[in-house]
Amino acid sequence: MTHAPDVTGFYETRTGSVQYVAADPRTGKCAIIDPVLDFDEKSGATATIEADRILNFIAERGYEVQWILDTHPHADHFSAADYLRGRTGAPTAIGEKVIDVQKLWKEFYNWPDFPTDGSQWDRLFAEGETFQVGDIPARVMFSPGHTLASITYVIGDAVFVHDTLFMPDSGTARADFPGGDAHMLWDSIQAILSLPDEMRVFTGHDYCPGGREPLWQSTVAEQKAGNIHMSRYRTKAEFVAARQARDRSLPMPRLILPALQINTNAGRLPEPESNGRRYLKIPLDLLRGPWAEPKES
**Domains of the chain by residue range:** 6-251
Of the chain, the percentage scoring pLDDT greater than 70 comes to 96
d(CA 129, CA 45): 37
| Distances in whole angstroms, Cα of residue 285 to Cα of each of 53, 288, 292 | 37, 6, 9
Residue 57, pLDDT score: 98
d(CA 206, CA 48): 21
DSSP 212: P
Residue 293: its pLDDT value, please?
Answer: 55
Strands 64-69 and 29-33: parallel
Adjacent-strand bridge partners of 155 = 138, 158
The sheet that has 6-12: what strands, in order across it?
6-12, 17-23, 29-33, 64-69, 92-95, 123-125
What is the mean pLDDT of the segment spanning 249-273? 96
Split at pLDDT 50, 70, 90, the class of 163 is very high
pLDDT at 297: 39
CA distance 145 to 152: 12
Mean of pLDDT values over 27-40: 98
Is the pLDDT reported for residue 296 higher than 90? Answer: no
For the domain 6-251, what is the CATH superfamily, name and number?
Ribonuclease Z/Hydroxyacylglutathione hydrolase-like (3.60.15.10)
Higher pLDDT, 25 or 2: 25
Is the pTM here over 0.85, yes or no?
Answer: yes
Q: Taking all residues of the chain, what is their mean pLDDT, rounded to a whole number?
A: 95
Give the mean pLDDT of 71-97.
98
CA distances 123 to 97, 99, 116, 117, 167, Å, are 12, 12, 14, 11, 29
Cβ-Cβ contacts under 8 Å for 6 (sequence gap 6 or more): 22, 23, 24, 25
Q: Is the pLDDT of residue 128 over 80?
A: yes
* Strands 158-162 and 151-155, sheet pairing: antiparallel
Using only the alpha carbons of the chain, give its radius of gyration: 19
Q: Rounded to an integer, what distance in angstroms lies between the CA atom of residue 182 and that of residue 170?
A: 17
3-class SS of residue 7: strand
Residue 31's SS3 state is: strand
Go through 127-160 and write b for each residue having 16 or more CB atoms within 10 A of its CB, e for each that does not.
eebebebbebebebbbbbbbbbbbbbbbbbbbbb
The 10s digit of each residue's pLDDT in 165-220 is 999 999 999 999 999 999 999 999 999 999 999 999 999 999 999 999 999 999 99
User: d(Cα 109, Cα 283) in Å, to the nearest integer?
Assistant: 6
**Chain center to CA of 177:** 13
